[in-house]
Structure 1
């Protein structure tokens, strides 16, 4: 098995080296986001600050830009801004994970780093098996696999994955995204005293619970944490039907706010709220750092029928992670803010105060770029739409009469414009991070967020403004 693993790792590293020039020189390569060195990246995994160093693991297929057998890629950083590519953490070579080391989480115990992940096994008849597995490290870089620590319990299909582990007092808790045998999405809970032996504690959320009716056929990538008085469950339900402007993507990611009874292992919660209203956001995961901040990364992608049309596939890579975001819980909802460290990338500041536009379109030579940060503070808003156009390929609009913000971009498959919408009672501030091929829009200091990839002409750096508004504007070029 050691020889087999060595050969597979050598093959993966060869793919990185072989494609290095093509990947690095891709005009859509992002300036301040985590991306794969080659191949396909999706879910963030194992987020943790261990021995003072931040670690981000991620789902990765180094051999193709499709969703094949997944490895765990690995980046580390001292500041969440400048990153180091670490050796591959997990490779799918063992009997219990031979068809993929699927998503999971990380914890620290007794000075060691523990990775929990789902081992995926496909049988010859097309069916699958699933195992929750453990790997342990003393240095945060090299990992020893300990194999399965939890097998599939009765009552669930093999869609049973993505373990998220945390500790409360002297007990460890694990939740998993699951599908019941009657094809309903749920969250399953397990408990342990030693991280190796786990007891089934039943379901804590899902279809038919806490006032929910049917709510998707599978809940992926769960996370659970306490934040400023609320017990918050993140999940990514699959199979939700569109409801007006809600649930517009093929899969959704959002949260429930409630109260967890640790004595009786019951969770009471309210309604489901989407975390992001853009085109490309899925499988978010959080961790708490040494400063006490709850920080989130998401996959800046989605598995839909446009995925195969990403232009970066031509250069043998696809997808990225979002910027790291600090979470706040206030006014009954989760707010997302860029982490403070992002300010260290700022350079060449431009400030323009009391700009007034009345139906006309304006373009400022000093407000352009490929990798920039833009803050627009509204002083007054008129009765007409207020629009920002990004490099002639995406447009952000606020309609005060409808109290909504819309984001439009060109569909990669059809070439037609498509739109996502979020409701906002009163727009006061837009905080926009535009990278070479991404947009992350923080509305009213993180009350709402819209995240999307887009692929403009690489030579176009134009930003135009039109509509009816008066505002202050600040802009920074951002260091790569």
Structure 2
């Protein structure tokens, strides 16, 4: 791709071109109803996720003039309830010498009644070599955002390449700290910690000392926090090879957890690396703590190097639903925030039945935009599962193999083709308890998020079925199972407009 096209600025497009791009996206049959999505162009990493001045603020990487990864802006959306989001427009625009080729990912923190937004500035020299800077912008209570005219950190430390980005900042009792994704000179990934007394003057403390050696060639979007007495490091390693059912996407996102990080030595005693999401489309998650002291996570529902059907409609990708994090039996558990119940447009449709080696559907249990819980209990079948967004030839399937104790999501017949070299099924091991399993689905026009056994596992996927693919079917193979279903139709929560309503 030519550089002029890839790094084209929004102000280089005419008003007529911008209006046409917005209209093209708005006409797309796969526009979401309750997920954050771009008004046009490409969305990727969530940034600056914060609670400030009575609202949740969520920013994301945005390239407005195409569905490829071009010149990145920060786009701003806000909400009072984590459900209904208002588009506020561009938050950070590249322009200074230290961010001329993109305002890359970063995070936010509240100090002195202002929201400080730290991000990576991307630049290129005359030989087209990358140079990374760590930068700051500040938002006040009326929403005005001002960029600092000089970078906070103007060089990459010795021992690392220019792949040095995505600062995630937090406040300890003594100092502010941030962790940043890095690539060592030997092409291995790691995370580096900086410290500051005031958010402005930073010093490099060193690498987080983990047990992971040669674990990918780059760690993107790291996020360190402490939860229920445990230290947690989220990050997105690039360059992992598939291992059985694990690491099946082009890039992965996951976590390690253990004793809290030693702030002096940066030693981190932790367990194994676990993938955060078992589906196809999840990357670069970011967390925050809200006014209710909840640790909430949002991810990018997409991946690079995958071609989605909406690319030809002038827009690409969305963000996941917000998820609360907690621990259960040593494992990080993800649950949809309870505020999502505000979306329920209808009273619950409830069904109870027993299946005997059959496929069944029920009157009124269908739709294209819905929330549904499905509990299979007393399982004596080999396999139980659900087909949803189903039509004559289309269907997305989630099932539990009780013999192998594995859950599988299959999007091989989910509609328009997603161009990817990484397969059409995703599977993980699950030890179901008391012969039962619970699926909690949030299905939007072009996505599905399936929470398994109250957040023990999550499968996130983009799907692109026809509008008339709205059937839901339940099945048991080679035996019987009890079934309990509760379903709600969901209201629209996002709109393709900018500014206050």
Structure 2 length normalisation: TM-score?
Answer: 0.90
- Structure 1 position 414, deviation (Å): 7.4
Structure 2: state its 5+ residue gaps: 1-8, 493-501
Which residue is equivalent to 1:268?
269
**Residue equivalent to 1:243:** 243
Distance in 2 separating the partners of 1:414 and 1:99: 28
Alpha-carbon spacing, 1:246–1:375, altered in 2? closer, same or farther (3 Å)? same
Aligned twin of 2:299: 298
Q: Which residue of 1 aligns with 2:459?
A: 450
Per mean C-alpha deviation after superposition, the further-off stretch among 147-156 and 29-38 is 147-156
Tell me, in whole angstroms, the C-alpha distance in 1 between the residues paired with 2:481 and 2:452.
Answer: 16
2:133 to 127, 131, 134: 131
Shift of 1:172: 0.3
Contact 1:221/1:236, CA 8 A, preserved across alignment: yes
Equivalent residue number for residue 290 of structure 2: 289
Q: Is the 8 A contact 2:10 2:64 kept in 1?
A: no
Q: Tell me the residue number matched to 1:313.
A: 311
Q: Is residue 248–residue 422 contact of structure 2 (8 Å, CA) maintained in 1?
A: no
Please give the alpha-carbon distance, in whole angstroms, between the structure 2 residues aligned to 1:311 and 1:458.
Answer: 14
Q: Do 1:409 and 1:417's aligned partners in 2 also have CA atoms closer than 8 Å? A: no
Deviation at 1:347, TM superposition (A): 2.2
The structural deviation recorded for 1:262 is 2.5
Measured after TM superposition, the shift of residue 416 of structure 1 is 11
> What CA distance in whole angstroms lies between the structure 2 residues aligned with 1:368 and 1:276?
26
Aligned to 2:44: 42
Partner of 1:326: 324
8 A Cα contact 1:176 1:189, kept in partner: yes
- CA separation of 1:79/1:457 partners in 2, compared to 1, >3 Å: closer, same or farther? same
Aligned pairs for 1:453-472 (under 5 A) are 453-467=462-476, 468-472=480-484
2:496 is matched with which residue?
none
Q: Is the 8 A contact 1:100 1:119 kept in 2?
A: yes
1:11 Cα deviation after fit: 4.2
Which runs of no fewer than 5 residues in structure 1 stay unpaired? 1-6
For residues 410-448 of structure 1, the C-alpha deviation after alignment (integer angstroms, 9 at most, x for no partner) is: 352379971100111004211110111101000010010
TM-superposed deviation, 1:15: 5.3
2:358 equivalent among 351, 360, 380: 360
Q: 2:166 matched to which residue of 1?
A: 162
Equivalent residue, structure 2, for 1:4: none
User: Deviation of residue 101 (structure 1)?
Assistant: 0.4
CA distance in 2, matches of 1:354, 1:420: 28
Cα distance in 1, alignment partners of residues 460 and 35 from structure 2: 13
TM-superposed deviation, 1:234: 0.3
Measured in 2, the distance between the counterparts of 1:115 and 1:13 equals 29
Deviation at 1:13, TM superposition (A): 7.3
Distance 1:446 1:218 in 2: 28
Following superposition of structure 1 onto structure 2, how do residues 4-403 of structure 1 map, counting pairs within 5 Å? 8-9=10-11, 11=13, 16-139=18-141, 141-146=143-148, 147-150=150-153, 151-205=155-209, 209-210=210-211, 212-258=212-258, 259-304=260-305, 307-308=306-307, 310-391=308-389, 392-403=394-405
* Cα distance in structure 1, aligned partners of 2:311 and 2:185: 37
CA contact (8 A) 1:89 1:141 kept: no
Q: Distance in 1 between matches of 2:311 and 2:44?
A: 14
How far is 1:10 from its partner?
Answer: 8.0
Helix, strand or coil: the match of 2:318? coil
In the other structure, the counterpart of 2:430 is: 424
Contact (CA 8 Å) 2:349, 2:365: kept in 1 or not? no
Larger relative strand fraction: 1
**How far does residue 124 in structure 1 lie from its aligned partner after superposition?**
3.0
Q: Which moves more between the two structures, 378-387 or 86-95?
A: 378-387
Tell which deviates more after alignment, 143-152 or 412-421: 412-421
Alpha-carbon distance, 1:126 to partner = 2.8
The runs of at least 4 consecutive aligned structure 1 residues that moved more than 6 Å come to 414-417
The CA distance in 1 between the partners of 2:449 and 2:220, in whole Å, is 23
In structure 2, distance between residues paired with 1:417 and 1:286: 29
Structure 1 pair 416/190, CA: closer, same or farther in 2 (3 Å)?
Answer: closer
Tell me, in whole angstroms, the C-alpha distance in 1 between the residues paired with 2:485 and 2:43.
Answer: 34
Q: Distance in 2 between matches of 1:15 and 1:47?
A: 31
Post-superposition Cα deviations, 1:4-36, rounded to whole Å, max 9, x if no partner, equal: xxx845849765533333322322111110000
| RMSD between aligned residues | 1.8
Mapped to 1, the partners of 2:142 and 2:202 lie a distance apart of: 24
Per mean C-alpha deviation after superposition, the further-off stretch among 113-122 and 424-433 is 424-433
Q: Match of 1:232, SS? A: strand
Distance 1:370 1:322 in 2: 17
Give the TM-score taking structure 1 as reference length. 0.94
CA contact (8 A) 2:122 2:130 kept: yes
Q: Deviation of residue 314 (structure 1)?
A: 2.3
Contact 2:346 2:489 in 1 (8 A): yes
Q: Could you tell me how far apart the structure 2 residues matched to 1:92 and 1:383 are?
A: 57
Equivalents in 1 of 2:395, 2:323: separation in Å? Answer: 25
**CA–CA separation in structure 1 for the residues paired with 2:76 and 2:277:** 25
